[in-house]
Structure 1
Amino acid sequence: MSRRGWSCRSGYGWWPWTAPAAMALALTIGQSAAAAQPAASGQGERAPVTFDIAAQPLTSALHAFAETTGLQVSYPAELAAGVSSPGVAGRYEPEAALRALLAGTGLTYRFTDAHTVTLVEGQSGSMMTPAPATPREGLAVPEPPRGGAGSPRFKAIKVPEIVVRESKEVGYKTDEEVSSPTRLPGPVRDLPQSVEVITRKLMDDQKAVRIQDVIRNVSGTFISSTGGGRQEFINIRGITSFADLNIFKNGFRDDSGFANRVFRETANLQRIEVLKGPASFLYGRAAPGGIMNLITKKPLEEPYYSADLIFGSYNLYRPSIDVSGPLNASKSLLYRFNGLYESGGSFRDGVKHDRVFAAPSFSWTLGSRTRLLFDMEYLYDDRVIDRGLPAIGRGVAPVPISTFLGDPNRRTEFHQGKAFLVLLHELSNNWTWRTGFRTAIASEAYDSIEQTGNATATGNIGLVRFEQPTTAQSHYLQNEVVGVFSTGWLGHRLLAGVEIGRERLDQTIVRTGFGTTNVFNPTRVFTPTTAAANIFDGYGVANFIAPYLVDQVALLDNLKLFLGGRFDIFKQEDVQGGVSTASVSENFFSPMLGVNYQPVKPVSLYANFSRSFAPQLGAITQDNQVIRPATGTQYEAGVKTELFDGRLFTNLAVFQITQRNLATFDPTDPTFRFSLPTGERRSQGVELDVAGRVMPGLDVIATYAYIDAENRSDDSVLGIASGNTLANAPLHSGSLWGTYTIQSGPLRNFGAGVGFYAAAKRLGDLQNTYEMPGYVRLDAALYYRKLEVFKRTNLTAALNFRNLLDHEYFEGSRENRREVYPGVPFTVLGSIRLEFY
């Protein structure tokens, strides 16, 4: 059979049920690989069995296998000594499960009789994925006939089964197919772009309660500012942007300005896919540096219950639960619920927060060709707004990083609700239809006394109170069809769709002057010095419709062409006092062209060209002119490899990005209401990412980025000169994190982790008037993981140490406010988790 092209599966990594679905489909692929394994001595097929065997020493894994199946497994003790098994979870025939347990061990098996298996030395199909059990009736996957002489054969498009407990991970490398780059799932090595994946295991190992805690494990990517200590400003490839241009969830925009004005929650995330470079050809408005697609946890077919507690420095207390399973005997209706409460202080004087999060999810199998998934999220967040430390002269104010200049008694309360509804239906063996709808509504009662303007050399800085009651909402509808077909000798996987959206932000801004304070001796008595002034009372609304198309063309077995494009029709209006103050309509076409060539299977060479656009909602000049969209263009090339039998993934990329017309705050406007466009910016550099499992028990992830990011035009009003370095863009940055779990002996199940994050000095603003010093932050962790500590109960306990050497550093700045956000000092987090199944 020709291997040209791809199998077209419906397990879109960004569809809400994809985490388990992609695994199930990966298991289907494993069936063909399994056929190449040693025959089972004609013992015949055995009935599928549900397995839940975690990665562990091979001897204990085989013991669990024998208890589950009733088979006897014999082997010399020295054959399994010091050997680890990757484990297996799901419903499989026993032989398929055994092949999975032996993957990468160098061992294989033979049946000596109908009930006895003997292990012997030999290749077992390193890293092979087992074949799944026979799917439920109506979900068989026949292959369509060839489209013509010599044309490729494709597997049919099918609604994915949801049968696994966890995503397929090899340490910090995922074997799941990702779909963020093209919305057509495929292995990372086959995609013509830089794509990095943050796995759930890495989030757990590093105790990531915020995205910023873990995203620095991606080269050239970090949270450069925390937007008043409440939301993410993300820097990718030297370019900083608001989170509404960077962050998506299950393929839908996860707004910051319109319906997400606070830190995202990590409790229900399965993984984070980071796509580098412009993504407007699929996602519409986007920053040219790249996007993050947050993939949430999905309902499980087998019962699972988890209770987790994280506690630590600054009175952090964070209990959470994760429960899932079927709601009926046929398992056609599944559920999952993630929930938590969080309370904590801060190393910043008087800064505190409370948070509640709940995320129920349901999956319903309506028939052999139809699936429905419904996701919901509710987030309550109550915190003190924190504008960090001001810059003085050429550096950050020389005061303790605990210094807080605002009023800790004023807090901002935030409520947010989201709902996702996705229907997936097979039109035929080769074509599938998907309809997805997402709605989000949020309200914010912003109340803060905070510093404003620039600090003087003596440390004096203005204080102002902002009261900003805000209601935000956004609604998106996506309709898509995806299929496989042939044109002559070319194979195609085609995605065609249209997205419709409406967004609205209602806001009132009341400003009251509170005199001044001194950075070196902050006031704790706040007295108004001016009357409250209503500086804005109105709303902004945006509507868009956008058709898009992606075609993956197989030119040869190892050469694939990627073509994509999206045409956005966008209209924006700002209304103040019942009068339209600004209105603009924009049409923009965003193309993408990529190519991927594999000279040998473990090596991929790729290149791409893409463009981005970003209408700048609410960006208005003082004469009420809406600033035109910012645009970006990227050229990228790279090489990807899979080493150690696919356990270790590397990506080396070179790129150049040009960005134009980005809005920034008008320095002559003390209200921060108005903006001005900047000229041209350019970022170019080299990035390296490495992630995976080097040997049993040893997981590593490492990054390095060299990024030269500078302004390319002069602007006398903004005080920006050509050649200025972009804010928050270190020339060199990198990270390394590794964990090792002892595999045998009296200390078996104990583990440790250690790593660092490093960044060279960074300029704090576009004018390059001050800088933040470079830093190296050392982290560490200790683990104890015990399977079956009680019957059907696993235990994980850990101590995580952040900034182990208590080094003072600054995470980033607001490039137009001379605000700098200090990094956390030495911090200890303890955690304990019990899993029941």
Structure 2
Amino acid sequence: MSRPFPFLLLLSLPLAGFSHASLAAKAEELRLNVPANGADDAARRGWITGRVADANGQAVEGVTVALKGTSYGASTQANGSFRLAAQAGSYQLVVSSIGYATQEIAVTVTGGETVSVPAFVLAASSQALTEVTVTGQKSLNQRAVTVGKLPVASLDLPQSAVTVEREVLEQQQVLRLSDALVNVSGLYVTSTTGGTQEELGSRGFAYGSNNTFKNGVRFNNGIMPEASSLERMEVLKGSAAILYGNVAAGGVLNLVTKKPQFERGGSVGLRVGSFGFWKPTVDVYGAIGDSKKAAFRLNGTYEQGNSYRDEVKSDRVYVNPSVLLELSPNTTLVLEGDYLRDNRTPDYGIGAINYEIPESRTRFLNVAGANNATTQTSSTATLTTRLNNAWSLRGVAGFQRYDNNLRSAGRPTSIVSTPGATYGNWTRGLQRSQTSENYYLAQLDLTGTFNTGFLGHTLLVGADADQYETTTTAYTNPESATRPNTAVSAYDVINILDPSKELAQPAERLTSFDQLVRNSLTKGNTRRAGFYVQDLLSVSEKVKVLAGVRWSYQETPSDVFNYNTVANRNSKIADTYVENRRYDNAFSPRLGLVYQPIKTSSVFASYSNSFTPNTGIDTDGNTLRPSIIEQYEVGIKNDLFKGALSANVTAYKIVNSDQSQTIQPGAPNFNESRPTAQELAGEVTSKGVEVDIQSKPMLGWSLITGYSYNHTSYTKSNTYENGSRLRYNPAHTANLSLFYNFNSAFGESTFLRGLNAGITTYYVGDKLAGRNTRLTVPNDAYRLISIPNYVLFDASLGYTYDRVAVRVKLANILDELSYNLHDDNSVNPIAPRNFSATVSYKL
């Protein structure tokens, strides 16, 4: 095995960890003005401790303790004590609880030290309880997305960014990542190939493993990530090549897991649902012993369930431990790991006959014993150190191991479409593969603020390096015992419209997966490195310019060992060996302008590009250079009603004028000795509009809504008709999530206090699959499939009493039927109307 690409064992992610306080007191007294840059300086943090009791000296639990004018807050524990973290400075400490008079005292916090305040004695309030709940949650445009690497608010960036916080994920009872995507306009599921993963896309471009991150580190999205561990989901739309190199043009997704906290707490829960689903969960956190410098968190779950699909089953185990270490007043280290084992029945859906979908939601076409077994283990170390008041250094080191073992029938293809006795017949074969992957990452970022004359700078300088080591073993059909040089390929023959129908079977056929023989072994060892610099210049209070560039280098070697004869397959000695080597590099610039006529609004325009490596050769036998994809984006961001509502609109145009396409016979540069040679002469254009609206919780209400329009088509092609749309990208999506918390309307004495209710709707319209018709094939049989439009409508209800919470959810209430398709051979119906309930206990 080759050595990992050299990397520094650095580093760590910003301190997680301050729970947003929910303050039940007068709104005008406790309005939280969060700093716009959203940065938390762990190096300058101190602690405040104290105790709260009633007039009889009894400890009072659940009292809100917060620093006025900030987002720092905590609640008292069962013994009345509290421990509150804050940046160094002078504050007003506010203690409030419904039914008691609010109290304030002045307090000064010193970095790295703990200050104890006198005990608070609560006195009953004689005033009527007419308070509203105000939270320390930042608005959509005030939040800084960690995946953006700059400690600045989204309002200052010439790019669309959306975050979905844990409170929203819990309200909506998110189970899969696709449940959370309904909160982000223009981010959608493209397909669910085999029912074992959720493939995502945005702005007409697919997200692969290059575009999906967990805690800032790429992860293999061949497995469905665990949503119960999420603290938030971050989406940086559009080009992110300057930050991450080889990523698709649509954007990047970062999943941020729950972080350690010094305050002790946690929960245990159980979720049950339709189709025999059940899922226990546990989440515990707190200081390690009595330490003020070390904290931990451990959350995990086990999941088991059947499916609305006949014979489909799944089970999975997930564990996510993490540790936070304050190494010095200026340095913090976060160590995170997770382990996910996922076993499920591979399911390529109901098939298609001549590009028509035979309507069914439950029909299962795979063979007995089919299984997709995946394990994924990862670890991340993130070190953050404050060099001085203006500069900080952040380093990340990560490792991931991914293993997959697939045994399944092949995808439903070559189904008989001629009317007659054999209509709908399909000859099933078997497939088997094994894949393993080691992934290594090192990343170092230096950020700082300074001035040069009248210009203010927020500078990012960084470097990263990563490496994929992959090993893939493919299997093929064995040689016939009675027909030399002929493979046995059939397992059986079924009718996809009626799988129970008795049909004549092949005379010689496969009987098990173990009969398949090794066909090839492919070893890959992709290595990448990048250097980047980016500067947000404040020209004036109203004008900002973001400029930067990245240089990326990529090696893509692979070694393919082929086993073509029975003897060599058995002895594992390769007949042939193919060595492939590619070396690519590219520059990725970025330039954006932000104009802020008022502090709560910004108008922006930007240009950026990204690149996609190509695998083909040109007419002279040389490797093709990467395709350069240009992106133009304009938009407006607004924080309305003093930050209570954020409303953003973005328009974009993405052009890949370097798309690779096969040179066709008859073309002036066609080379008969290289009939598969390619050229960078095609063009794909994506254009669209996105609207994202989010509110803070206000008077009990919270709102998320949005809309997206996208049109992605071939605008120059010698293979497909110009103007024909690319598959899998819906032209329209729309979303609405509306929740109400009854705490704001009812006093403590009513049973309705603790109740919350909400609805979530999601619309997908005008989405295509199948295959684009080829100009180069006379009377081509390829056709596109129009996927039925659908509206998902979900309703949920929750109730919390003391430490116990119960939530119920009814999903797809309208029982809509549509599909996720890959080509025409993985036609997976969406889930029907279903029910789930969760009960949890707060530790």
Aligned to 1:134: 109
Compared CA separation, residues 68 and 610, structure 1 to 2 (3 A): closer
Matched-pair contact (CA < 8 Å) for 1:88–1:97: no
Which residue, 621, 634, 637 being the options, matches 1:637?
634
Matched-pair contact (CA < 8 Å) for 1:180–1:275: yes
Which residue, 142, 146, 156 being the options, matches 1:179?
146
Name the SS of the counterpart of 1:265 in structure 2.
coil
Offset at residue 826 of structure 1 (A): 0.4
Offset at residue 516 of structure 1 (A): 4.0
Which residue, 305, 312, 318 being the options, matches 1:357?
318
Q: Distance in 1 between matches of 2:305 and 2:661?
A: 33
Matched-pair contact (CA < 8 Å) for 1:51–1:68: no
Matched-pair contact (CA < 8 Å) for 1:407–1:450: no
Offset at residue 174 of structure 1 (A): 8.2
Which residue, 383, 392, 406 being the options, matches 1:432?
392
Compared CA separation, residues 69 and 651, structure 1 to 2 (3 A): closer
Aligned to 1:189: 155
Do residues 522 (structure 1) and 535 (structure 2) align?
no
Do residues 833 (structure 1) and 843 (structure 2) align?
no
Which residue, 284, 288, 296 being the options, matches 1:327?
288
Query: Where in structure 2 are the equivalents of 1:386-405 lying within 5 Å?
Result: 386-396=347-357, 398-405=358-365
1:180 alignment partner AA: V
Which residue, 472, 478, 482 being the options, matches 2:437?
472
2:94 alignment partner AA: L
Aligned to 1:756: 761
Name the SS of the counterpart of 1:473 in structure 2.
strand
TM-score, normalising length: structure 1 = 0.78
RMSD of aligned residue pairs (Cα, Å)? 3.8
Which residue, 287, 290, 300 being the options, matches 2:248?
287
Aligned to 1:499: 464
1:765-817 CA distances to partner (integer Å, 9 max, x unpaired)? 3515221111111111111123xx2xxxx22211111100211122x322x45
Which residue, 595, 600, 603 being the options, matches 2:601?
603
Structure 2 alignment gaps of length 5 or more: 1-10, 22-29, 36-45, 54-58, 76-82, 116-133, 418-422, 478-488, 562-573, 664-675, 773-782
Matched-pair contact (CA < 8 Å) for 1:726–1:766: no
Which residue, 86, 89, 98 being the options, matches 2:94?
98
Q: Distance in 2 between matches of 1:675 and 1:498?
A: 35
Aligned to 2:554: 570
Do residues 378 (structure 1) and 339 (structure 2) align?
yes
Aligned to 2:733: 733
Which residue, 446, 453, 477 being the options, matches 1:488?
453
Offset at residue 276 of structure 1 (A): 0.8
Matched-pair contact (CA < 8 Å) for 1:761–1:775: no
Worse overlay, 459-468 or 416-425: 459-468
Query: Where in structure 2 are the equivalents of 1:259-274 lying within 5 Å?
Result: 261-274=222-235
2:831 alignment partner AA: V
Aligned to 1:779: 794
Matched-pair contact (CA < 8 Å) for 1:485–1:491: yes
Aligned to 2:694: 691
Which residue, 233, 239, 242 being the options, matches 2:199?
233
Compared CA separation, residues 599 and 67, structure 1 to 2 (3 A): closer
Worse overlay, 520-529 or 227-236: 520-529
1:285-333 CA distances to partner (integer Å, 9 max, x unpaired)? 1111111011121110110121121110111111111111111423201
Do residues 646 (structure 1) and 643 (structure 2) align?
yes
Q: Distance in 2 between matches of 1:19 and 1:461?
A: 54
Tell me the percent identity.
Answer: 28
Q: Distance in 1 between matches of 2:533 and 2:711?
A: 33
Q: Distance in 2 between matches of 1:824 and 1:283?
A: 35
Worse overlay, 759-768 or 207-216: 759-768
Aligned to 2:373: 413
Matched-pair contact (CA < 8 Å) for 1:173–1:647: no
Q: Distance in 1 between matches of 2:247 and 2:257?
A: 21
2:270 alignment partner AA: L
1:594 alignment partner AA: G
1:639-670 CA distances to partner (integer Å, 9 max, x unpaired)? 1111222121111111111235668999xxxx
Q: Distance in 2 between matches of 1:175 and 1:50?
A: 31
Name the SS of the counterpart of 2:243 in structure 1.
helix
Matched-pair contact (CA < 8 Å) for 1:248–1:292: yes
Matched-pair contact (CA < 8 Å) for 1:446–1:469: yes
Matched-pair contact (CA < 8 Å) for 1:638–1:653: yes
Offset at residue 369 of structure 1 (A): 1.6
Aligned to 2:722: 722
Alignment coverage as a number of residue pairs: 711
Compared CA separation, residues 675 and 452, structure 1 to 2 (3 A): farther
Name the SS of the counterpart of 2:178 in structure 1.
helix
1:706-763 CA distances to partner (integer Å, 9 max, x unpaired)? 21221223343xxx32111121222222011111122314422222111211121211
Offset at residue 626 of structure 1 (A): 6.9
Which residue, 800, 807, 810 being the options, matches 2:816?
807
Matched-pair contact (CA < 8 Å) for 1:405–1:450: no
Aligned to 1:202: 168
Matched-pair contact (CA < 8 Å) for 1:497–1:547: yes
Matched-pair contact (CA < 8 Å) for 1:372–1:422: yes
Aligned to 1:613: 611
Q: Distance in 1 between matches of 2:314 and 2:352?
A: 25
Q: Distance in 1 between matches of 2:689 and 2:158?
A: 16
Name the SS of the counterpart of 1:493 in structure 2.
strand
Name the SS of the counterpart of 2:643 in structure 1.
coil
Matched-pair contact (CA < 8 Å) for 1:22–1:176: no
1:822 alignment partner AA: P
Offset at residue 382 of structure 1 (A): 0.8
Compared CA separation, residues 830 and 33, structure 1 to 2 (3 A): closer
Offset at residue 495 of structure 1 (A): 1.3
Which residue, 587, 590, 593 being the options, matches 1:592?
590
Compared CA separation, residues 286 and 701, structure 1 to 2 (3 A): same
Q: Distance in 2 between matches of 1:574 and 1:167?
A: 53
1:363 alignment partner AA: L
2:810 alignment partner AA: F
Aligned to 2:3: none
Name the SS of the counterpart of 2:706 in structure 1.
strand
Aligned to 1:106: none
Matched-pair contact (CA < 8 Å) for 1:307–1:835: yes
Matched-pair contact (CA < 8 Å) for 2:192–2:199: yes
Q: Distance in 1 between matches of 2:34 and 2:517?
A: 72
Name the SS of the counterpart of 1:347 in structure 2.
coil
Q: Distance in 2 between matches of 1:179 and 1:382?
A: 32
Offset at residue 412 of structure 1 (A): 1.8
Q: Distance in 2 between matches of 1:704 and 1:333?
A: 44
Q: Distance in 2 between matches of 1:69 and 1:755?
A: 33
1:282 alignment partner AA: L
Q: Distance in 2 between matches of 1:116 and 1:208?
A: 38
Matched-pair contact (CA < 8 Å) for 1:389–1:403: yes
Compared CA separation, residues 701 and 99, structure 1 to 2 (3 A): farther
Matched-pair contact (CA < 8 Å) for 2:20–2:73: no
Aligned to 1:655: 652
Offset at residue 15 of structure 1 (A): 5.6
1:574 alignment partner AA: S
Aligned to 1:508: 473
Offset at residue 424 of structure 1 (A): 2.1
Matched-pair contact (CA < 8 Å) for 2:287–2:296: yes
Aligned to 1:124: none
Do residues 536 (structure 1) and 544 (structure 2) align?
no
Which residue, 828, 834, 840 being the options, matches 1:821?
828
Matched-pair contact (CA < 8 Å) for 1:548–1:566: yes
Q: Distance in 2 between matches of 1:601 and 1:466?
A: 59
Matched-pair contact (CA < 8 Å) for 1:179–1:186: no
